[in-house]
Amino acid sequence: MKVGILGGGQLARMLALAGVPMGLEFVIVDPKPDACAAGLGRFVQADYTDAGALDELAACDCVTCDFENVSADALEALADRVAVRPSAVALAAAQDRLFEKNRFAALGMDTAGYAEVNSRTDLGSAVERLGVPAVVKTRRMGYDGKGQMVLRDGEDLELAWRALGEHALIVEQWVEFDFECAITAVRTADGDMRCWPLSRTWHRDGILRLAGSLAVPGGLQAKAEALVRRLAEDLDYVGGLTLELFAHGDRLLANEFAPRVHNSAHWTIEGAVCSQFENHLRAVCGLPLGATEARGMAAMVNFIGRMPAPEAWLKLPGLHWHDYGKAAREGRKVGHATLNAADSAALKSLAPRLEGLLDADLLGELDSALGEG
């Protein structure tokens, strides 16, 4: 079976690494000549709307994406010729933050307060209603902290408008959460759906730095699964889907969703019976899903900007190393490492060995979270 992938970044790379042992072949389309998935299938360097590239994808058995900001028009045209999973409708639903929040509200999900902003007057009115601090974001094309600013006073409003005012914007109320988390699910075309354990997540400057399959307060797993199921069924979704959440007491507030495999669930490669990457491929190819149970506990660290020297990391028992083969660049995700252990106590016992490898504040928060387990 041949799978087409729009996008040739690390997510496409990990999809291909999961699919090759399954006997799958890949056609990967990306405009960048140094796309890190290029060596794992037939690579087509072309724009996502290029007619020749779309012809190559149309000759595949199915097509998927490694990021959501692909032209919905191109996907719709492609869908007339080959199965596109998830659908163009599902991807388009995640491309605009205002539409995304409106969908959450329509589905009865709790969210932070938010407001549409199309003018400087709108911005002032939104902050007056929602209060400060607040976050202003571009409605489209923002990721990993790009296209957003925190508003703390009137001076910040002016700076934000100068920086972002040429775009359609949304202002979101600041959330005083207990912790961030994400639920990753996979769903087939006939509605079979499974979820992995909640991922605890930690961000810095809008970029995910640390995630893991750590213990969460009782009841939140079931609530998160109900929310992601509601969303997946509404979108008639096929493939892997992640819903990012804020936990506050016994409440979960929907923040955003990703219609693809997701960074917060990279720990599933070694930490679950069947990874998000293999199960995404199973779903889009019409194959039975694999089990999503965790194998003990796992903590995953993102490497941002450049890869560290591996020697100290590889001395850790249960450590798995992932170098994406990308050139170093500030703010760029270039690799990750996952630390696996039998349970919370075993993982906590390894935490002191991360001193000097993991930022001290993140290590402290990880250690605290493991103590809760």
Q: What is the pLDDT of residues 123-133, one digit of tens each?
A: 999 999 999 99
- Asked if 69 contacts 55 with a C-beta cutoff of 8 angstroms, the reply is no
Res. 206 pLDDT band, cuts 50 70 90: confident
The most confident of 65-74, 140-149, 153-162, 293-302, by mean pLDDT: 293-302
Res. 232 pLDDT band, cuts 50 70 90: very high
- Asked if 199 contacts 212 with a C-beta cutoff of 8 angstroms, the reply is yes
Q: What is the pLDDT of residues 78-91, one digit of tens each?
A: 999 999 999 999 99
Relative to beta strand 207-212, strand 297-304 is antiparallel
The most confident of 69-73, 147-151, 298-302, by mean pLDDT: 298-302
Report the alpha-carbon distance of residue 371 to residue 373 in Å, rounded.
5
* 354, HSE (Cβ side, Cα atoms, 13 Å): 24
Q: Among 145-149, 181-185, 233-237, whose mean pLDDT is lowest?
A: 145-149
Mean residue pLDDT across the chain: 94
- Asked if 31 contacts 67 with a C-beta cutoff of 8 angstroms, the reply is no
* 372, HSE (Cβ side, Cα atoms, 13 Å): 14
Closest CA to 101 of 170, 167, 175: 170
Over residues 174-179, the mean pLDDT reads 92
Q: Is the pLDDT of residue 231 over 70?
A: yes
Cα three-residue angle 313-314-319, rounded to 5 degrees: 90
294: which DSSP letter?
B
Percent of the chain with pLDDT over 70: 98
Which of the listed CATH numbers 3.30.565.10, 3.30.210.10, 3.40.50.20, 3.30.9.10 matches domain 2-84?
A: 3.40.50.20
Q: Which residues contact 81 (CB under 8 A, 6 or more apart)?
A: 58
Closest CA to 267 of 358, 337, 193, 370: 337
pLDDT value at residue 145: 57
Report the alpha-carbon distance of residue 26 to residue 32 in Å, rounded.
17
Q: What is the pLDDT of residues 254-302, one digit of tens each?
A: 999 999 999 999 999 999 999 999 999 999 999 999 999 999 999 999 9
Q: What is the pLDDT of residues 26-39, one digit of tens each?
A: 999 999 999 999 99
pTM score, whole prediction: 0.95
Q: What is the pLDDT of residues 152-163, one digit of tens each?
A: 887 888 888 888
What is each CA distance from 307 to 126, 137, 302, 322, in whole angstroms? 41, 29, 10, 10
pLDDT value at residue 112: 94
Res. 143 pLDDT band, cuts 50 70 90: low
Cα three-residue angle 178-183-188, rounded to 5 degrees: 170
> For residue 312, which amino acid is it?
A
Percent of the chain with pLDDT over 90: 85
pLDDT value at residue 144: 57
Secondary structure, 3-state, 34-60 = CCCCHHHCEEEECCCCCHHHHHHHHCC
Which DSSP string corresponds to 71-130? -HHHHHHHHTTSEESS-HHHHHHTS-HHHHHHHHHHTT-----EEEE-SHHHHHHHHHHH
CATH of domain 113-173: 3.30.1490.20
Q: Is the pLDDT of residue 199 over 90?
A: yes
Q: Is the pLDDT of residue 71 over 90?
A: no
Of residues 358 and 158, more confidently modeled: 358
Tokens of residue 73, six digits: 């028009």
Report the alpha-carbon distance of residue 257 to residue 171 in Å, rounded.
17
Q: Is the pLDDT of residue 339 over 70?
A: yes
Q: Is the pLDDT of residue 344 over 70?
A: yes
Beta strand spans in the chain (E): 2-6, 25-30, 42-45, 62-65, 83-84, 114-117, 134-138, 148-151, 169-173, 179-187, 193-195, 199-204, 207-212, 239-248, 251-258, 297-304, 319-323, 333-341
pLDDT value at residue 142: 64
Res. 77 pLDDT band, cuts 50 70 90: confident
Over residues 15-19, the mean pLDDT reads 98
Closest CA to 84 of 73, 94, 97: 73
In the chain the first and final C-alpha atoms are separated, in Å, by 42
CATH of domain 179-372: 3.30.470.20
Domain coordinates in residue numbering, the chain: 2-84, 113-173, 179-372
